Structure 1
Amino acid sequence: MIRRLAWVTTQEARGRDEDEELAVTALRAAGVTVDVVDWDDPAVRWAGYERVVLRSTWDYPQRLGAFLAWLEAVGQVTDLRNPLAMVRWNLDKHYLADLERSGVPITPTLFLEPGDSPAFPAGEFVVKPAIGAGSRDAASYGPDQHDSAAGHVRRLHAAGASVLVQPLLASVAVDGEWPLVFFGGRYSHAASKRVALPRAGVIDDLFAEETNAPHVAEAEQIAVAQHAVDVVAQRFGVPLYARVDLVRDDRGEPCVLEVELVEPSLFLPQAPGAVAALVAALQGTQGGDQA
């Protein structure tokens, strides 16, 4: 049973994680000593914690090299969750291709590597970097904005980034997205999320503005999300926490937009009864193997 835990954030995210107060309060009530600490604080002795849990480290895409070095160092001295190999895989959205090869339905995705010419689908679409968080550096475009979108792609390529181009599915404007949350590989709860992506622009903040609400997931949605989590578990071990963001494709079927295994918001305010499940997962021994 875990008794000393680091809840890891970053200075810029302080006070902005809606899950933090609910979870930390519940953990402390359960007898766990919890410190909320910045990942880049050189004064922290990581080996002094039984478990180090990535939570609101939302600045990592802008500091990726330092973040990866920190993950490597922490993973060598304590129990990092989710574990290093799983996190490395999930940092880069090329994992979507792995999921698709394993039979998980995903949002149609075109990968543009540095040197590739920009190419876009008909209708509205989204451009985003393969490594990113909080929809930062993502933008939506219309069919008459290919020149602006090409400039966006070239800017990301110039920075060495791979790029994803995805159609803006018609259902998203009506239904938004559905994040489904899992603890210890098991479905816990869901939410409804609407993200305010800029049109032909970029987000300068840590994350895009969202409107969130509770959601009762359909059996079909849970099955698709569970399939994605099972693929992760087969490859890396069971994730302590996971979030699978679903949308509906043009046939009305659920498909995976993203799988979040690094530092996802867990939508605890939308499902306060799930706090106990998170506490049990954070205290327990189930989760991916250390790597």
Structure 2
Amino acid sequence: MTNHHQSTRGEPRVALVTCSAFPDLEDDDRLVLGPLAARGVAAEPVVWDDPAADWSAYDLVVLRSPWDYMSRRDAFVAWASSVPALVNPADVVTWNTDKRYLDQLSAAGVPTVPTTWVAPGEEWDLPADRGEYVLKPSVSAGSQDTGRYDLSDPGHRDLARAHVRRLGAAGRVTMVQPYLSAVDVAGETALLFVTGPDGLRFSHAIRKGALLTGPDLGMDGLYKPEEIAPRTATEEQLSVARRTLAAVPGGSDRLLYARVDLIPGADGDPVLVELELTEPSLFLGHGDGAADRLADAIVTHLARRPG
């Protein structure tokens, strides 16, 4: 690859954006360092809120694991808007860091988990169907502040109301979704896409086991240990994933990567639970050649930078 940056400044420099909890990157993200070096790209981790960071010194700034932004999303979005050469782009970050984007995707015809929203200060009317439900904030990651409630149980109903009040008191919007029990057997499927020469290309898929086992108690909730394994994506899952990506505002051709998380709906067909475009784990270690494909995607985006 030759471009203005390489010819005048030596090898391209790429910042891999992380947080203070992972100053040297999370283990899976480090898998891309060798492939990038082999392609003549100098990559280094940089903490997103480090005041000493000089973002203009990098030819590309790649969001990877800034996993502490959830409690200060406004600051994170403002930071993203100030960073040149950011991927995924800042407007995508703004849109994707609040899960109310699900309404927009649903309106575009993407099959999604049915979701209702409770704003701070609103009274929550419990669903007439006293089945199992998942409650979580609209700005969240990693199952934080997330709980599973059986609303046929009076104790769970009280805990669910307390969960909504707790989030509302913190100024957070609560999202309410039915718990789709097929996930207990089939798990969740994450489909990973990265840039290719002609736009986003499917890279690999993984299976995640069901995590939630009970209510969130204002601390860590109740979760099973995360179980990750490679998975072969079905044509139906790939079709839903591509429909989802086609509905991304501004087009998916600007994206470096995308992760589409699907679970079986009530009828067994795949439905979207989340579209991860900001800081998803890419599970590079679970797909043959995945780290090389991500490195190639980064090189492709470097080549797109103005010369």
TM-score (norm 2): 0.87
SS in 2 for 1:284: helix
Tell me how far apart the structure 2 counterparts of residues 231 and 47 of structure 1 sit (CA, whole Å): 31
Query: How many angstroms does 1:116 deviate by?
Result: 2.5
Q: 1:93 aligns with which of 96, 99, 106?
A: 99
- Give the counterpart letter for 1:193 in structure 2: K
Query: For each residue in 1:72-91, what CA deviation from the matched residue of structure 2 results, as whole angstroms up to 9, or x when unmatched?
Result: 221xxx20000011110001
Alignment correspondent of 1:63: 72
- 2:292 paired with 1:276: yes
Tell me how far apart the structure 1 counterparts of residues 292 and 219 of structure 2 sit (CA, whole Å): 34
Q: 1:165 aligns with which of 154, 172, 176?
A: 176
Structure 1 vs Structure 2: percent identity of aligned residues?
42
- Alpha carbons of structure 1 residues 67 and 174: separation in structure 2 relative to 1, 3 Å: same
Give the alignment of 1:89-168 within 5 angstroms: 89-118=95-124, 119-120=126-127, 121-143=129-151, 144=153, 145-168=156-179
When structure 1 is superposed on structure 2, of 250-259 and 167-176 the one drifting more is 167-176
Tell me how far apart the structure 2 counterparts of residues 159 and 241 of structure 1 sit (CA, whole Å): 32
Query: For each residue in 1:242-263, what CA deviation from the matched residue of structure 2 results, as whole angstroms up to 9, or x when unmatched?
Result: 0000000010000000000000
Bigger Rg, which one:
2
- The 8 Å contact of residues 115 and 175 in structure 2, kept in 1 or not, is answered as yes
Q: 2:208 aligns with which of 187, 190, 193?
A: 193
- 2:193 paired with 1:182: yes
Alignment correspondent of 1:226: 242
Alignment correspondent of 2:8: none
Query: How many angstroms does 1:209 deviate by?
Result: 4.3
Structure 2 gap segments, 5+ residues each: 6-11
- Alpha carbons of structure 1 residues 73 and 162: separation in structure 2 relative to 1, 3 Å: same
When structure 1 is superposed on structure 2, of 84-93 and 61-70 the one drifting more is 61-70
- The 8 Å contact of residues 195 and 209 in structure 1, kept in 2 or not, is answered as no
Tell me how far apart the structure 2 counterparts of residues 45 and 194 of structure 1 sit (CA, whole Å): 40
Q: 1:13 aligns with which of 19, 22, 33?
A: 22
Query: For each residue in 1:178-228, what CA deviation from the matched residue of structure 2 results, as whole angstroms up to 9, or x when unmatched?
Result: 0001112221110001242352125549x9842100000000000001111
- Give the counterpart letter for 2:186 in structure 1: D
- The 8 Å contact of residues 187 and 226 in structure 1, kept in 2 or not, is answered as no
Tell me how far apart the structure 2 counterparts of residues 30 and 245 of structure 1 sit (CA, whole Å): 30
TM-score (norm 1): 0.91
Give the alignment of 1:250-269 within 5 angstroms: 250-269=266-285
Tell me how far apart the structure 2 counterparts of residues 32 and 44 of structure 1 sit (CA, whole Å): 19
- List structure 1 segments (4+ residues) > 6 angstroms apart after TM superposition: 286-290
Alignment correspondent of 1:25: 34
Tell me how far apart the structure 2 counterparts of residues 96 and 117 of structure 1 sit (CA, whole Å): 22
Structure 1 gap segments, 5+ residues each: none
Tell me how far apart the structure 1 counterparts of residues 262 and 286 of structure 2 sit (CA, whole Å): 17
Tell me how far apart the structure 2 counterparts of residues 289 and 234 of structure 1 sit (CA, whole Å): 18
When structure 1 is superposed on structure 2, of 208-217 and 280-289 the one drifting more is 280-289
When structure 1 is superposed on structure 2, of 187-196 and 98-107 the one drifting more is 187-196
Tell me how far apart the structure 2 counterparts of residues 235 and 16 of structure 1 sit (CA, whole Å): 29
When structure 1 is superposed on structure 2, of 113-122 and 249-258 the one drifting more is 113-122
Tell me how far apart the structure 2 counterparts of residues 209 and 50 of structure 1 sit (CA, whole Å): 38
